[in-house]
Structure 1
Amino acid sequence: MLRKRSILLTLLCTIMLIIATACSGGGNEAKNENKGKSSGKSGDTVDLLMGTGSQGGTYYPLGAEMANVWNKNIKSINVTSTESGASVENLAKIANGEFDLGMTVNLPAYDAYEGKGDFKGRKVENFAFIGHIYPEVLQIVTRESFGINSIADLKGKRIAIGPPGSGTQSAAKIVLEAFGIKDGDYEAYQEGFGDAKAKLQDGTIDASFGLLGLPDAGIDELQASVKDVKLLEITGEELAYVEKNSGYTRYTMKAGSYEWLKKDVSTVSAFAILVANTDTVDDETAYQLAKVMIEKANENTHQQAKHMTKENALNGRGNLPIHPGAEKYYKEIGILK
């Protein structure tokens, strides 16, 4: 009898141990599912993925620097910047939940919000403005030795128009259209300036479009190598056409913007802005992102970081909704009422 009781007791203990282990395993599974998500408790870190642009452009290195500054100054987040096709792709990946943050030209962002242009029939509603980054200047690069004197001469040529889904490509197409050059009238290379620079150097392509910061290190590097970089202008009726049919505005690259640039060059510009996924970036995180962008811009080593100032903070916002967290910060510093 005593032996039977001992066996039953051992069996009962074994069953209880199995149940306890199963419950413990369920708890670990729940923890794994919640890994990386904010519960609002002290000590939590939120992982954020930010879309930038192609290597060789401005977004990619600047985005990496922005992430470094945020991670250094905001303990609750870990931002990872990643290469992408830039503006349109970043907005599309915010829409489907792949990206938490994105760098974009302001104009594709307007289209995304309104369901126009590249976003016709697929309006993006889960994003909001965080802040201005820098002015983007359309720079159309060729070489003196190629014998190209104007954009009109690009018909039949080999042209890098920017990666698919980039603001550069949208701008390139509207400019070429202004000069009567349509798709099919030229050989298109859908790549960023990083790849285009090498092709310009060896003569594989004839020209490249780039929405870039001014000055751009890549263009300076090309000039140092080939000694005959030439920037093409947009003027007159063609400039008026671009302004009328897009949100780009006229911009003058002043002589001396590059050490080798001896005369003013007329072109167009827009603004690079930061937007956030409102499904994944909460108000406190948005507040900190906006605050650090401005107040710690001096820790960002990229030359375009100088444009991230209180005075410029709302440039490029247009009619975009502003993230409530960023709005709170801008009200605190007196630039929003």
Structure 2
Amino acid sequence: MVAAFAALVLLGAMAGCTSRASEWTGEEYTIAGGGSTGVYFDYGGHLADELSRSLDIRMSVDETAGSVDNLLRVSAGDALIGFAQGDAAADAVAGAGAFPEPLAIEAVARLYDEYLHVVVRGDSEIEGIADLAGKDVSLGAENSGVNVIASRVLDAAGVDAASVRNAQLDLSGSIEAMERGEIDGFFWVGGLPTPGIAELAERMPVRLLPIEQEWVVEVNEQYSHAYRPADVPEGMYGLRESAPTMAVPNYLVTSASTPDGVVRDVLSGLFDARPRIAEEVPAAALLDRRQAIFTGPVALHPGAIEYYRDLRD
């Protein structure tokens, strides 16, 4: 009986750890996340915990400026994997926009869609994007995907970005500045709901400025066709009606030089952990094996191709 019990304990311990590929040669690994009040950081923290347990490694999430910063960190080898908006990732592999030359970045999975939020106070006189001219507005932190989309939307709406007094704050800074009355509004791109904005809406009424569908079409024609019209539903953040906006896919990315076995292990852990992470991060529930392969124009990493192909065999 004692021997049988010991065997069960051993099996239980073994079940908690997944056999990992031999390519895991480091002692500690990092996920490039985002601001501490955003979905990237929240998702990344839970994923790091899950991979640490299942692969018996040390993995953590770093607070970063967002997509552009994450892509640079992953390319430089400062992070194993990172989160990035599809538009910023497309720029990275093309050597366009914020990237003077192409980065050797490949995709691990398409995770979920992110939504543009243009947040103002509930009692603000600002009714539309055109009203942002001459106002104090955060267009996102430097090296963030938020900054990329904000400038593109302002241009499509006919607003000169130079006419907006740009505070260049991350999400945490934007929320704090709005509560202190230092800014009139801020741009954010993230999953639904974004924790920081949900918490802000509990402390003070907020509204989201509408994004016209024609602007989405114009931005798509000029850039990577990564965007689609979308709506933030009524009730979210206390909204009295749905808010038209635009959405962009979000990718998990890695360096092209990452070993195939490491990428397969990451994907196995990612999908296995999905229901547990989704209990804390609703956006994680949107991860879907059938949609995860659609990361164009960013190529799938060979290790990811092997993982998804094995699922079909």
Please indicate the TM-score interval, normalised by the length of the shorter structure. Answer: 0.7 to 0.9
CA RMSD, Structure 1 to Structure 2 (Å): 2.1
- Please say if residues 206 and 237 of structure 2, whose CA atoms lie closer than 8 Å, have aligned partners that are also in contact: no
* Equivalent position of 1:142 in the other structure: 120
Deviations 1:59-118, CA, capped at 9 Å, x for gaps: 11211111111111123x332210111111111222333222221111111111111121
* Whole-angstrom distance in 1 between the partners of 2:269 and 2:191: 21
* 1:332–1:46 Cα change, 3 Å: farther
* Equivalent position of 2:22 in the other structure: 40
Are 1:230 and 2:215 counterparts? Answer: no
Letter aligned with residue 313 of structure 1: A
Are 1:314 and 2:299 counterparts? Answer: no
- Please say if residues 110 and 287 of structure 2, whose CA atoms lie closer than 8 Å, have aligned partners that are also in contact: yes
Alignment partner of 1:117: what SS? coil
Shift of 1:262: 2.3
* Equivalent position of 1:69 in the other structure: 50
Deviations 1:290-323, CA, capped at 9 Å, x for gaps: 11111221121322211123233224x0132211
- Please say if residues 87 and 167 of structure 1, whose CA atoms lie closer than 8 Å, have aligned partners that are also in contact: yes
Count residues in correspondence.
290
**In the TM superposition, what are the counterparts of 1:65-214 in structure 2 within 5 Å?**
65-75=46-56, 77-120=57-100, 122-125=101-104, 127-214=105-192
Are 1:59 and 2:34 counterparts? Answer: no
Alignment partner of 2:163: what SS? coil
Structure 1 gap segments, 5+ residues each? 1-37
Structure 2 gap segments, 5+ residues each? 1-19
- Please say if residues 21 and 265 of structure 2, whose CA atoms lie closer than 8 Å, have aligned partners that are also in contact: no
Are 1:292 and 2:272 counterparts? Answer: no
* Whole-angstrom distance in 1 between the partners of 2:160 and 2:271: 41
Alignment partner of 1:85: what SS? coil
Letter aligned with residue 243 of structure 1: N
Of structures 1 and 2, the one scoring higher in RCO (CA 8 A, sep 6+) is 2
* Equivalent position of 2:227 in the other structure: 248
Letter aligned with residue 274 of structure 2: A
TM-score (norm 1): 0.80
Alignment partner of 2:98: what SS? helix
- Please say if residues 146 and 189 of structure 2, whose CA atoms lie closer than 8 Å, have aligned partners that are also in contact: yes
Shift of 1:39: 10
* Equivalent position of 1:9 in the other structure: none
Moved over 6 A (4+): none
* 1:291–1:96 Cα change, 3 Å: same
* Whole-angstrom distance in 2 between the partners of 1:131 and 1:95: 17
TM-score (norm 2): 0.86
Alignment partner of 2:179: what SS? helix
Deviations 1:266-290, CA, capped at 9 Å, x for gaps: 11111111111233x2111100111
